[in-house]
Structure 1
Amino acid sequence: MDISELLIFAVENHASDVHLSAGEPPLVRIHGDIRKVEMPALDAEAIHRMIYDILSDDQRKTFEEHLELDFSLSLGDYGRFRVNVFKQNRGDAAAFRPIPNRIPSFEELGLPKVLMNIARLEKGLVLVTGPTGSGKSTTLAAIIDLINNEMKGHIITIEDPIE
């Protein structure tokens, strides 16, 4: 299974994360539970090849210099993925998180109306915080979408990693 097939599998199974680590089969997070993909464990060389197949020359250089790299990967109709590649004792490793093609509405997310009112203010600072996987990026996407559709002006976001 190559990286594209693995990510398509993740999207089709509604996985929120895909993890690659030497000595383990790929892991996916589905509805909060980490599950092993039904395939043999990947060795360090296989993961290295999978990662380097999706990196540009500049990205490879940055990864080799800093031992970590964050970037976005597009997979056609299956959407984009936020990717973090990093070094572990056993070799290269990676984490992939799908970025939905469609931005959910405030109503779909169950966000309070007061947040919609805050988003419509002409000035101010909004901090969206929480643990990994809690919906920060999705909430911010809904806020930015609302502002883009209803207001004129500039929006500045400070993100790490940038999505």
Structure 2
Amino acid sequence: GFLVFGTLHTNSAAKTIDRIINAFPADQQAQTRTMLADSLKGVVAQQLLKTKDGKGRCAALEILIGSNALASIIREGKINQIESMIQTGTSQGMQTMDQHLQQLIDADKITVEAAREKAMNKSLFPLPDGVEE
């Protein structure tokens, strides 16, 4: 086999997998799911955010690591389960976008407002009193 790196304009691992599968005609999607399930090693989704000091940008990353469980999810077309799989897979090196956004806030690299703008679940990042969207 060949190692392939690709880039897609998506903001989550699940949307990346969905986009790959949906790039094929409907009559080829089952075969595509099987092939992807058997070969996918991982997905890294990134979004760039302004740093808190305003002097640059930093990357927020969602990391999905390939596994037998992921292969089953892809084969069965249960892409909506990937988010919860990532949430519980931190011991395998996985992280959701929202988990990494929180880490960046805790490290004082980004503001809550910047995180909320890019968050998958905005309710995890309530705005401080007096700050409006």
Question: Does the alignment reach a TM-score above 0.5?
Answer: no
**Greater strand fraction, Structure 1 or Structure 2:** 1
Task: Tell me which structure has the larger Cα radius of gyration.
Answer: 1
Normalised by the size of structure 1, how large is the TM-score?
0.27
Normalised by the size of structure 2, how large is the TM-score?
0.31
**Greater helix fraction, Structure 1 or Structure 2:** 2
